[in-house]
């Protein structure tokens, strides 16, 4: 009887924490769209915008590929973080989700940096799509959290 009461309390805490983490994740997704607004505002205010750095096209291409490699590495890092911190505690699940969100958003930041350096908005939008794809793939699901907590009880 006592174990079921503890589990019920744990699941109530889990639901509250999940909703808070969910809100944080949605706010971080919204920030990616805010970056898109900043890109468009800069393009409009500083037309024609060629970037703040005077880089030759070869350097821009190299930088783009380096940033794409970093984005691919972040995918691997997210997978590793989710394996390293799989403990069935609410705190570890929350920590893993926040780290995952930060890594997902950082891909869009790479695109924003590339845009600010080189001035090509399409570069930003490529990284934005990758970032949103990461959010889609790695956004936590309550059912998975519940299964992990139940498995740890």
Over residues 56-109, the pLDDT tens digits come to 999 999 999 999 999 999 999 999 988 887 667 788 889 899 999 999 999 999
**pLDDT, position 1:** 47
Mean pLDDT of 137-143: 92
pLDDT at 131 over 60: yes
- Closest listed residue to residue 125, CA positions, set 59, 9, 43, 45: 43
CA distance 110 to 108: 5
Mean pLDDT of 8-28: 88
pLDDT at 3 over 60: no
pTM of the prediction?
A: 0.89
CA distance 39 to 4: 52
């Amino acid at each position: 009887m006592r174990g079921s009461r503890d589990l019920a309390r744990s699941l109530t805490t889990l639901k509250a924490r999940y909703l808070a983490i969910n809100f944080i994740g949605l706010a971080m997704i919204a920030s990616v769209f805010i970056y898109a607004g900043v890109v468009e505002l800069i393009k409009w205010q500083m037309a024609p915008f060629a970037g703040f750095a005077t880089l030759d096209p070869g350097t821009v291409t190299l930088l783009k590929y380096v940033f794409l490699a970093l984005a691919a590495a972040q995918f691997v890092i997210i997978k590793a973080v989710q394996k390293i911190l799989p403990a069935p505690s609410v705190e570890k699940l929350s920590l893993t989700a926040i780290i995952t969100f930060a890594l997902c958003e950082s891909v869009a930041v790479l695109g924003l940096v590339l845009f600010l350096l080189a001035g090509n908005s399409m570069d930003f939008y490529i990284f934005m799509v990758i970032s949103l794809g990461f959010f889609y793939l790695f956004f936590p699901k309550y059912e998975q959290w519940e299964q992990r907590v139940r498995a740890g009880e």
